[in-house]
Amino acid sequence: MSTNFNKHNMKFLEGRRLRRLRSSAWQRNMVRQNAIVPSDLILPIFIIDGENERSSIKYMPNIERLSVDLAVKRAKLAYQAGIPAVALFPKADESKRNEQASEAINKDNLICRALSEIKSSVPEIGLITDVALDLYTSHGQDGLMRDNIILNDESVDVMVKSALIQAEAGADIIAPSDMMDGRVGAIRIALDESGFEQIPILSYSAKYASSFYGPFREAVGSSSLLKGNKFTYQLDFANSDEAILEIEQDILEGADMIMIKPGMPYLDIIRQAVDRFNIPIFAYQVSGEYSLIEYGAQNGAIDRDSAIFESLMAFKRAGCTGVFTYFALEMAQKLNK
């Protein structure tokens, strides 16, 4: 009986054609496991001072820094395309940077003005803000520094104040990307005690010390200022267990959502997090990933549109709730067509 069963089974396998369901476009669409829709995409926007001002970003083709009035228009386009939220990153004037990152807690700083203007003009779209201090420090580190050591608790104290003024200015989601220990819990307590208990925290829980951030640092003006590296607080790219511990700790401290950054080089981390934690998980397709696709396409090495779509689908296949990507507006508009 066993022999007959095995012969039958082998005969079945010999006749099986896995390509059958790939033979036409309608069949491929019918059995497709994952899909991308505009609401999966979050659009990062770089902000600068001025009016009707825009400036190009080295190594990020087609991406510009925008003055607040132009950022309002970009947010409107994003909303019209079905994008649920934008993430705002200011390029503070170098004269406003110092070792104490005091501009981070200035209630009239660039990010607060942008929040207020966008919230007033496009109230339906979500506004996500970062509280890391590299946007304001004169040394380009994500925290305060003394004797070449990044200070954890002192940095958290400043970030808590920064988070509160952002909430007051109209931020809908606070997204700390600094990787200081304990900052999620401290921010959560401060928000709750100040009447902002409805504002969620999207924590960059697994942010790796990556070589893929270069264009972003130039975009926000920290590249030329950065002293040393960020190895003492961002994750070692050789490790995965450490990422799971960071995510678990942030969830215990009150994170409502988590971010894994960069994206495609860390799909394994995304998958592990999705399998382990029942919480919305986002990925950031970072500036270096964006630039690789753009330059590859410009030089004829890859097809641009299909590479963008494939890269974003990889995040969905890995289990992401959504993706922060500089391709968000373009992709959402194409999806709508």
- Give tens-digit pLDDT for 67-86: 999 999 999 999 999 999 99
Distance separating alpha carbons of residues 9 and 11, to the nearest angstrom: 5
Asked if the structure places residue 304 within a domain, the reply is yes
Asked if the structure places residue 94 within a domain, the reply is yes
Whether the predicted pLDDT of 147 surpasses 70? yes
Catalytic residue among 119, 230, 261, 316: 261
Asked if the structure places residue 34 within a domain, the reply is no
Asked if the structure places residue 4 within a domain, the reply is no
Average pLDDT estimate for 144-165: 97
Mean pLDDT of the chain: 95
Whether the predicted pLDDT of 185 surpasses 90? yes
The single residue listed with the structure tokens 């491929």 is 28
Q: Which pLDDT does position 4 carry in this prediction?
A: 61
Residue 198 C-beta-side C-alpha neighbours within 13 Å: 5
Q: Which pLDDT does position 7 carry in this prediction?
A: 62
- Going by pLDDT thresholds of 50, 70 and 90, the confidence category of residue 10 is low
- Going by pLDDT thresholds of 50, 70 and 90, the confidence category of residue 15 is confident
Whether the predicted pLDDT of 135 surpasses 90? yes
Q: Which pLDDT does position 151 carry in this prediction?
A: 97
Distance separating alpha carbons of residues 204 and 175, to the nearest angstrom: 7
- Give tens-digit pLDDT for 213-234: 999 999 999 988 998 899 999 9
Structural domains of the chain, count? 1
Average pLDDT estimate for 130-148: 95
Catalytic residue among 91, 119, 207, 316: 207
The CATH number for 88's domain is 3.20.20.70
Asked if the structure places residue 90 within a domain, the reply is yes
**pLDDT over 70 for what percent of the chain?**
96
- Going by pLDDT thresholds of 50, 70 and 90, the confidence category of residue 17 is confident
Whether the predicted pLDDT of 3 surpasses 60? no
Q: Which pLDDT does position 132 carry in this prediction?
A: 92
End-to-end CA distance of the chain: 57
- Going by pLDDT thresholds of 50, 70 and 90, the confidence category of residue 102 is very high
316 catalytic residue (yes or no): no
The single residue listed with the structure tokens 């190594």 is 59
Q: Which pLDDT does position 255 carry in this prediction?
A: 98
- Give tens-digit pLDDT for 244-293: 999 999 999 999 999 999 999 999 999 999 999 999 999 999 999 999 99
Which residue range(s) make up the domain with 170?
Answer: 40-336
Whether the predicted pLDDT of 322 surpasses 60? yes
Asked if the structure places residue 14 within a domain, the reply is no
Asked if the structure places residue 251 within a domain, the reply is yes
Q: Which pLDDT does position 13 carry in this prediction?
A: 64
Average pLDDT estimate for 12-19: 77
73 catalytic residue (yes or no): no
Full-model pTM: 0.94
Asked if the structure places residue 26 within a domain, the reply is no
DSSP string, 64-83: EEEEHHHHHHHHHHHHHTT-
Q: Which pLDDT does position 11 carry in this prediction?
A: 63
CA angle in degrees (0–180, nearest 5) for 249-250-252? 65
Residue 98, CA distances (Å) to 8, 93, 138, 143 in order: 76, 11, 4, 12
Taking the alpha carbons of 319, 198, 177, 154 in that order, is the dihedral positive or negative?
negative
